[in-house]
Amino acid sequence: MRTVEWNYATSQLQMIDQRLLPGELTVAVFDDYREVSQAISDMVVRGAPAIGAAAGFGLALAAQQSTARKVESLHSDMEEAANFLKRARPTAVNLTWALERILRKTYCVMDHGSADDLRLAILNEAQRIADEDVEINKRIAMHGAQLIADGDVIIHHCNTGALATVDWGTALGVIRMAHEQGKKIHVLVDETRPRLQGARLTAWELTQYGIPFDIITDNAAGYFLRAGQAQKVFVGSDRTAANGDVANKIGTYMLALATHDNGVPFYAVVPTSTVDLSLASGGMIPIEERDQAEVLGLTFQGMLAHPEGATARNPAFDVTPHRLITGIITENGVAYPPYGENLERVVKKKETP
C-alpha cells in the first residue's frame, strides 16, 4: 500500500500513521480536510513529497465537504481550504506547490464546467500528483544509484523513503535502487533527533528491504567520516533555493560540514517540486520551530532524561549552504556546481522518456 492513498470506494483519504511506527502499522482514515491539516502538523504524515500529496487529497476532501452548488462559490471555498492547509507546516515547499498546482488547474474547469466537474477535476489532479510522485522517485533513483559503488557504506539522515513520499522514496529510494541493482551496501542510519525518524522509520524500511544497516547517533557521523568508514552521504530536502542551498531536517548542516571536511561526496536528493526558484538563497526559507515536548519527551533507561522544569528549543530544519553539496539529484538528472545556472537548467528540463 501507499503511504498516502485515496480510497475510491469510500471517498476517503488513507494514510499510514507514522507516529506509531515501528511498533504498529496503522492506517488512519480522513474525510475532513481540517483533520488532514492537523495530521500534517502532528506528523501523522511527514516528508515533503508525502505532505504535498496529502494536502492535494485534503483539498479533494474539502471539495467533497463544500455544499456549494455554483462553481464560483466552490472555487472560493477551495481557496479558503488551500490557505488553511498551507499553514499546517511552513518549511516544505511541496505543500504550497501541490495546492497551487491544483488551484491553477481548476481555473480552466471554472470557465465551462459545473461544481461537480470542478470536484472531479480537483480529485483527478490530486491523484495525478500522487502518481507522478512515485514515477518521479523512480527516475531520481535511477540517476542517483549510478553514484553508488559496490561496497559503499552510506550515511543517511532522517527518513526519505517510501514513508516520506507517496511510495518508493527520494534519498532512501536511491539507496534502495542500488541494492536492487545487486550492489553490496551498508547504511549508517542517523537516528535523527528529536523525532527519531531515522531510528524509527528508515531502520524499519531498511529491514523490509533487506538492506544491512546500523543506527548511529546524529553526533557520531563525524567519527565515521573521519575514520574513513563512510564513502557517501545522501539526504533529502524540504525546500531547495535557486542557488542550491538546501533546507532539510535539523542536523543536515552539521552532517554536511563533517562530510565536506573529510572529502566525502554529499548528495541532496530533490524532486524538482521541492526546488523553489523564487528564493535566491536558503536564508529566505522559513524554518519551523516545533514544540519543546519533542526534545524533552524522552526516557533513557526508564528514567526521564531532564530535570523538572527544564525548557528546550526545537528548530525542525536547518539550511545547508550549497558550497557543501557535491551534487543535487533530481528526476531530470544530477545538477553539479555552479548551481546558480545548473540547477535551474535541470529543473526546467523536460526529460525525454
List residues with catalytic annotation: 238
- For 66-84, give one letter per residue: b (16+ CB within 10 A) or e: bebeebeebbebbeebbeb
Q: Taking the alpha carbons of 159, 153, 148, 212 in that order, is the dihedral positive or negative?
A: negative
Residue with smaller CB distance to a copy of itself, 11 or 208: 208
Rounded Cα distance, 337 and 341, in Å: 8
Cα separation, 140 vs 155, in Å, equals: 18
Is the distance from CB of 155 to CB of 190 less than 8 angstroms? yes
Please report how the helices 115-145 and 48-65 are oriented relative to each other, as an axis angle in degrees rounded to 10.
170
CB of 302 to a copy of itself, least distance (A): 8
d(CA 228, CA 237): 25
Number of residues that bind a copy of itself (CB under 8 A): 61
The residues near 205 (Cβ < 8 Å, ≥ 6 apart) are 159, 161, 162, 163, 169, 172
- 22 vs 151 by CB, closer to a copy of itself: 22
Residue 320 vs 332, nearer CB to a copy of itself: 320
Q: Among 48-56, 90-98, 307-315, 336-344, which window interacts with a copy of itself (CB under 8 A)?
A: 307-315
Asked if 89 is part of the footprint of a copy of itself (rule: CB under 8 A), the reply reads no
* Residues forming a β-bridge with 110: none
Select 315 or 340, whichever has its Cβ closest to a copy of itself.
Answer: 315
Q: Which of 18, 37, 192, 274 binds a copy of itself (CB under 8 A)?
A: 192
Using CB under 8 A as the criterion, what x/- string covers residues 227-266 for binding a copy of itself? -----------------------xx-xxx-xx--x-----
* Residue among 38 and 207 whose Cβ is closer to a copy of itself: 207
User: What is the C-alpha to C-alpha distance for residues 40 and 51, in angstroms, rounded to an integer?
Assistant: 7
Q: Shortest approach of a copy of itself to residue 293 CB, angstroms?
A: 9
Task: Report the residue from 11, 22, 80, 291 that binds a copy of itself according to the rule CB under 8 A.
Answer: 22
CA distance 81 to 90: 16
Residue 304 binds a copy of itself (CB under 8 A): yes
Q: Which of 7, 12, 14, 19 binds a copy of itself (CB under 8 A)?
A: 19
Which residues are near a copy of itself by CB under 8 A? Answer: 19-20, 22-23, 188, 190-196, 199-200, 203-204, 207, 213-224, 226, 250-251, 253-255, 257-258, 261, 287, 295-301, 303-315, 318-319
